[in-house]
Amino acid sequence: MSIRQRQIESVLKRAISEVLGRRLADPRIRGMVSITHIEVRPDLRQAVVYVSVLPQEYSSLTLHGLTDASGRIHRLIRKSITARTMPHLRFELDESIKKEAAVFDAIREGFESVPPDPEESAP
């Protein structure tokens, strides 16, 4: 990945977060939406924006709202960022957080199911 790609990813992440937090009033976009990461293609024409939505039951509706509003988000960002090329945005749900939570839950359950060692509790 080039330095230019990383720079654009960073700028896009900040700008999209600001638009989602302050300037976008779509009733389908509900809950807490956070951008986990962005992948900009090497030709800088398209960017995949991975989002996490809490609570989970709003995720599909929010993703649909973000997809429909991607053109408006693109225009708002274009006004605030000076760049020769502005990648088109495609939103996708980031499932990695849900997978991590499932792994942590399994580890916690594993620790809870192990009986305490009698030698450790003896004085």
pLDDT tens sequence across 83-100: 778 899 999 998 877 777
| Cis ω for the linkage preceding 123 (within 30 of 0) | no
The pLDDT assigned to 120 comes to: 63
Q: Which region, left, alpha or beta, applies to residue 48 given φ > 0 means left and ψ of -120 to 50 means alpha?
A: beta
Which position has the token pair 């992948």? 39
Superfamily, domain 3-115: K homology (KH) domain (3.30.300.20)
pLDDT tens digit string along 28-72?
A: 888 888 899 999 999 989 999 999 988 888 889 999 999 999 999
Which position has the token pair 């000076």? 82
Q: Minimal CA–CA distance to 24: which of 82, 89, 94, 87?
A: 89
The pLDDT assigned to 89 comes to: 94
User: pLDDT category, 12, cuts 50, 70, 90?
Assistant: very high
Helix (H, G, I), strand (E, B) or coil at 116: coil
